[in-house]
Amino acid sequence: MAGKKTYIQDPESGKFIEKSIFYANHSASVHTIKPFVSPLDRTVISDPAQLRAHNLKHGVTDRRDYGESWFESKRGELEQKRQSLDKGSKRDRIEILKRATEHVRT
């Protein structure tokens, strides 16, 4: 019996592709990273395996894990929230901030 095929999601198309085919179609340069110093623990990260281990250790993610469509949808959500604020609620927030900072003014 042949081994199970493993599939991964192409970050650009979102489609699931057999892992061996995906890596065969992408050059090694796609899977390399420019070395950098982690702002979290000051270690030097110089390859994708180190980055994955670092991210797991610190519970963080990389921007490249999301894809551009995720950021576009978040921008849209934020714009909708911004537009949904009426002038009355904005005025109320301004008054609250003024009262909260009055004691700072002298």
Q: Looking at residue 26, what is its pLDDT?
A: 62
Q: Which amino acid is at 66?
A: Y
35 band by pLDDT with thresholds 50, 70 and 90: very high
Q: Give the whole-angstrom CA distance, residue 77 versus residue 2.
A: 46
For residues 19-23, average pLDDT:
71
CA distance 65 to 80: 25
Long-range Cβ contacts of 62-68 (<8 Å, 24+ apart)? 64/11, 67/11, 67/12, 67/14
Beta bridge partners of 16: 9
pLDDT digit string (tens) for 43-101? 999 988 898 899 999 999 887 777 778 888 888 888 887 777 666 677 888 888 998 88
Beta bridge partners of 37: 44
